[in-house]
């Protein structure tokens, strides 16, 4: 009896490498645009509210499109969805480069472009997530997820730095970078060989029914339902905490340059954590992988009260980000292996909406807390919120028995 050949290492997996490299470029361009958008609006209008409106358009578009996008990704050709998203984003950015270059940019145009970008990401992310198990073997899925997380962190770090520098060269240059990176991503994706999926059978397409089916799938599986609730709660408090600590640093007269480095260290921690995640995922039990990040955040959060140096606060942020990729790798790997292929887009859509809602509400909560109480007390309130979630996670029976192997789809 002949033994099957071991799987090809990810570094030699042609299709995964093409997808990863193309999206790494796109992540850099996206982060450059996201830092350039508010700078451009401020240069045009001087209005912080208008800057917030443009960024909110991107976030709201992702939230509104999230659930329908997951259902559509499960219905349509996923590679074609990703290609169209890249092409549409490139076209939207080309229009933005043109109006900024010709000095005829308007706020409605910027809002429209931001909404288009947000909608395309709402479609692209579930399509990529759902396609990943078709590109890599099950044994390498956790490593692939961790590498995708590292890709996002590196892209955020590099793109944020480049966006500010390129905006100083000319207002349209960061958006040109984003345009070029999406063209590169489109070309790379065009050469990815994604296995053809079986044609859908049964009842005629009904978007509302398909969305409801995805929601029922999430609700019927306690480990997915509980981890979604935990992700929502923890991201809500951490997003609020992040804003509060930035305000706290400013009120302690920490220099702006140190605050910038402090924020960047969150990405450094994410990159380091993503590189450690495959090893920790294999070494730790799923329960410890998930609970560990909650306890780390709970233990580290109050330290901001006694640190008055931007570099030390940066190390604090790096430490808080270190274990998150391991928990994300453990949770996402199990969810993708548990979920049948025809439902994977909807699973990703639901989870993206959960995380996106927390990311949108968290800064608002942080702002309200800073207005209502002192920054020090706001830090304590967020730390208490994290502690409450941590106690729930630690005691939760579902998480204590979190599966360590592939589940059987129902």
* End-to-end Cα separation, the chain, in angstroms: 32
pLDDT at 2 over 50: no
Same domain, 25 and 170: yes
Q: What is the mean pLDDT of the chain?
A: 88
Residue scoring higher pLDDT (371 or 188):
188
Q: How far is CA 322 from the centre of its chain?
A: 15
Same domain, 148 and 296: no
Residue 343's pLDDT is 92
Residue 316 lies in a domain: yes
- What's the domain range around 337? 208-410
Residue 4's pLDDT is 52
126 to each of 20, 70, 92, 348, 384, how far by Cα in Å? 15, 6, 21, 5, 33
Boundary residue ending a domain (123, 157, 192): 192
Residue 7 lies in a domain: no
Share of the chain above pLDDT 90, in %: 52
Residue 5 lies in a domain: no
Tell me, what DSSP letter sits at residue 301?
A: G
pLDDT digit string, tens, across residues 93-143: 999 999 999 989 898 999 999 999 999 999 999 999 999 999 999 889 999
- Give the pLDDT band (50/70/90) at residue 395: very high
Same domain, 217 and 73: no
pLDDT digit string, tens, across residues 343-380: 999 999 999 888 888 877 888 888 888 888 888 898 99
- Give the pLDDT band (50/70/90) at residue 37: confident
Residue 198 lies in a domain: no
Same domain, 150 and 222: no
Same domain, 213 and 187: no
- The H-assigned helical ranges of 199-255 are 207-220, 222-251
Residue 1's pLDDT is 41
Burial class (CB in 10 A: 0-12, 13-18, 19+), 120: buried
Residues 264/305, Cβ–Cβ less than 8 Å: no
Same domain, 216 and 341: yes
| CATH code of the domain covering residue 328 | 1.20.1250.20
Same domain, 175 and 76: yes
Residue 202 lies in a domain: no
pTM, full prediction: 0.86
Burial class (CB in 10 A: 0-12, 13-18, 19+), 146: buried
Same domain, 134 and 222: no
- For residue 239, what are the contacts with CB-CB under 8 A and spacing of at least 6? 358, 359, 361, 362, 363, 365, 366
| Measured distance CA(325)–CA(147) in Å, rounded | 10
């997808």: which residue's tokens? 19
Q: What is the mean pLDDT of residues 30-39?
A: 87
42 to each of 46, 51, 52, 112, how far by Cα in Å? 4, 7, 10, 17
Residue 199 lies in a domain: no
Same domain, 406 and 284: yes
Same domain, 142 and 77: yes
Boundary residue ending a domain (192, 222, 239): 192
pLDDT digit string, tens, across residues 231-277: 889 888 988 898 888 888 878 888 867 777 787 888 889 889 999 99
Residue 144's pLDDT is 92
Give the number of domains in the chain: 2
């Amino acid at each position: 009896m002949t033994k099957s050949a071991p799987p090809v290492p990810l570094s030699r997996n042609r299709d995964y490498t093409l997808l990863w490299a193309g999206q790494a470029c796109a992540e850099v361009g996206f982060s450059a645009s996201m830092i350039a958008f508010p700078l451009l609006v401020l240069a045009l209008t001087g209005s912080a509210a208008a800057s917030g409106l443009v960024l909110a358009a991107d976030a709201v578009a992702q939230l509104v499109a999230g659930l329908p996008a997951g259902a559509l990704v499960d219905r349509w050709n996923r590679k074609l969805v990703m290609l169209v998203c890249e092409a549409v984003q490139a076209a939207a950015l080309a229009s933005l480069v043109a109006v900024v270059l010709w000095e005829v940019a308007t706020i409605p145009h910027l809002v429209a472009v931001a909404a288009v970008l947000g909608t395309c990401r709402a479609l692209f992310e579930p399509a990529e997530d759902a396609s990943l198990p078709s590109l890599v073997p099950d044994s390498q899925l956790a490593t692939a997820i961790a590498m995708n997380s590292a890709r996002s962190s590196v892209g955020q770090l590099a793109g944020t730095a480049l966006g500010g520098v390129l905006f100083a060269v000319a207002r349209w240059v960061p958006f040109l970078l984003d345009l070029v990176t999406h063209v590169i991503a489109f070309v790379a994706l065009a050469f990815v060989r994604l296995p053809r999926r079986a044609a859908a059978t049964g009842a005629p397409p009904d978007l509302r029914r398909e969305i409801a089916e995805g929601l029922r799938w999430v609700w019927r599986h306690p480990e997915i339902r509980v981890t979604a609730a935990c992700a929502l709660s923890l991201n809500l408090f951490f997003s609020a905490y992040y804003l509060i600590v930035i305000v706290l640093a400013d009120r302690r007269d920490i220099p702006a340059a140190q605050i910038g480095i402090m924020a960047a260290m969150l990405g450094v921690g994410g990159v380091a954590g993503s590189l450690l995640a495959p090893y920790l995922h294999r070494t730790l039990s799923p329960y410890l992988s998930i609970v560990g990040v909650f306890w780390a955040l709970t233990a580290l959060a109050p330290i901001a009260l006694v640190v008055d140096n931007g570099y030390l606060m940066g190390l604090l942020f790096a430490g808080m980000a270190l274990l998150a990729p391991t928990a994300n790798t453990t949770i996402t790997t199990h969810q993708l292996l548990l979920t049948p292929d025809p439902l994977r887009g909807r699973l990703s859509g639901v989870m993206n909406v959960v995380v996106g809602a927390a990311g949108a509400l968290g800064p608002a909560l942080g702002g309200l807390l800073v207005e209502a109480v002192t920054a020090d007390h706001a830090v304590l309130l967020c730390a208490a919120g994290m502690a409450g979630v941590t106690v729930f996670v630690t005691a939760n029976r579902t998480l204590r028995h979190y599966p360590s192997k592939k589940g059987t789809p129902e």
